Amino acid sequence: MVNTLLTGAPGDAGSAGDGKFEGAPSHSIIVTRPTLFEHGILPVLTAMPNATQLCEIVQRFDSESVKTMGISAWQKIAKEMIKMDTGFAQLVFDMFLDCTTSEVVGDVTEVNIVEFAVYLLLLANSKEEIGIGGSPRTLRADIAYPQLSTPTECALSPRSQPKSPRTVLASGGKLAEMERRQIAFLHKHGRELLLICAGAATATRISAKQFDALSVILMAPHPHSAEPPSSIAPFWRSGGQDSVAISDVLAWMTDSLPLMEGPLASPGGRISPPHSWLHDSTQQHGMQIDRNNAAVIANLCKATVIRSATDLAGRGREAAEETVRLSVRVQCCSDCYIYITAPVARVAICGCHHCTVFVAGAALVTVDHCERLQVTVGCKRLRVASCVDSTLQILTNRQPVVIGDNHDLLLAPFNALFCDCLSFWLQLNIDRTKNRWAEPLSVSRTTSSVVLSGGAVPGQSLMPPSDFFCVTIPSATPQSASLVASQANPCPLPPAYATALQSKHRQVLDLRKGIAETETMLPNTEPALQRAIQAKFKEWLVASGNMRQVSDLVHMEHSYPHSIHHDTILVPSDVPRPGA
């Protein structure tokens, strides 16, 4: 973890424009803020505004002594200057608000004009960074023919194709290069960014306050991440506000953000995460916190993980309030059960395969380049990018945004029996009565425009009510048997799904009644009946893959007494339970 910042007064800087600063370390003392890169990238028009045009937009508002902009003003600019469709302009505006206000409780309707211009420059130069557009495949070889499980077995398997998420990740693609691309963007467009912050394409100097507009993409490393970027720059560290030559600031930025080398490979040839994820992290309350101040769950295989508010931020009232400002990153996990049972600001799930992930509450969630994922999440906004064969059971107050090469996505309402969600959603200002899970918005780009598609989209479908069931979430705190048994779905269900769930519940009650009647009529058969039921249940546990999860939870109970308690009831995830 990098805890040491540059030392020395602003006057210690070298001569103007030489790019050398006394005491500058060889490692990074400022880092990228990944929120916009992870959650805010969208397909965009080819003719996005350049830095000069963005400076003109900033100047227009500066001349009116107004630093913020509402949606109507933005839509007018988008139509006049960029020829952007009103609907897409609304989406761009909303995505920026979701990314930059996810730690704020309450509705925000205006954006900082300079920060928004920085975001537009990021979008304009990220259009080639993601696999956007394309027609999702409606039939996959490895689903129709399960024996084709690896690329080496048959070239027909989509995992051998360039756009297969696992192939991209295994080759050190999008995920392994994420931070390197962020830094490369700052190196390539650093001067343009500074000119936008200064408010003029001809500017030569910039003040500390203007530089702090880059806080949407730059930050001090953890544990100093709450400080503005100017507080660690050698020019303003002592509290001065004098303007500084843009060439000096640019030289300091590029020196403080060295371009990273290629992804690291383990002895077995497996690609590892970027350097900062491996080394520039620290342990906080038993959690790994990376230098971007995100709790990281990474590189796990066949594991069960429960992360409560205590795990994420410690105990006490202040710690509980801290979780709603925290980001969580789940990356490169395989065959795992991951439960985030705390309210958090943002969750990014990247490069995971065959995992079950539960997020009790988050303002913003992105699922990116994942395969065969089961996700249950309560959030304000969900963004899905280039995912395959995944089921998303969601509560979301805004339309789920779907971009990239997605196929075999199944959408369903929120299905977790976890009543703590009620208080979490209240903290995050999530309205449980306004669930837009069935209104996905697919965003793709053609040669001349960006297309927004709703309703029936190839590669996406809604779960039939007959296939819907609820799941019980393991608890990291003591739970009585009666409390667990009384848990209900905190999210209201559409009538068809509620009816189907009640029908399943009646079937379970009828089965119990039949067993009880059999035991009454034939009392001598009770031991044999119990053995038969236990044998069939164990057979189901093994066949469904739930045996490993139960074994993990039992191991956690014995290894970590405060994680899973003896009076907790564990209900396998495929057992139907009644919902509210």
Nearby residues of 111 by Cβ (< 8 Å), 6 or more positions away: 68, 69, 74, 93, 96, 97, 100
Nearby residues of 461 by Cβ (< 8 Å), 6 or more positions away: 409, 410, 411
Q: Tell me, what's the pLDDT at 275? A: 39
Q: Where in the chain is the domain with CATH 2.160.20.70?
A: 263-580
Is-contact 196 117, C-beta < 8 A?
A: yes
* Cα first-last separation, the chain: 46
Amino acid at 359: V
Q: Tell me, what's the pLDDT at 54? A: 93
Is-contact 340 322, C-beta < 8 A?
A: no
Geometric angle at alpha carbon 500, from 337 and 410, rounded to 5°: 45
Give the C-alpha separation, 355 to 341, whole Å: 16
Cis-peptide, bond into residue 274, ω within 30° of zero: no
Give the number of other Cβ atoms within 10 Å of residue 281's Cβ. 19
Both tokens assigned to 567 = 């009076």
| pLDDT averaged per 10 residues, the chain (length 580) | 31 37 48 91 86 89 73 90 89 94 73 94 75 38 38 38 44 57 91 94 92 91 77 84 91 85 40 40 55 85 88 68 86 92 94 94 94 96 95 96 92 93 93 95 85 82 94 74 74 94 87 79 76 82 76 65 34 38
| Strand blocks (E) in 387-503 | 388-396, 401-403, 407-413, 416-417, 441-445, 450-453, 460-462, 471-472
| Strand blocks (E) in 120-172 | none
Amino acid at 343: P
pTM: 0.80
Tokens 């992105």 belong to 366
Q: Which CATH number fits domain 263-580: 3.40.50.300, 2.10.10.90, 1.20.1250.20, 2.160.20.70?
A: 2.160.20.70
Amino acid at 556: M
Give the C-alpha separation, 554 to 111, whole Å: 49
Amino acid at 85: D
Q: Tell me, what's the pLDDT at 532? A: 82
The number of residues in the chain equals 580
Q: Tell me, what's the pLDDT at 422? A: 93
Both tokens assigned to 343 = 């309210």
Q: Tell me, what's the pLDDT at 387? A: 95
Geometric angle at alpha carbon 461, from 456 and 462, rounded to 5°: 110
Dihedral sign, Cα of residue 406, residue 408, residue 412, residue 414: negative
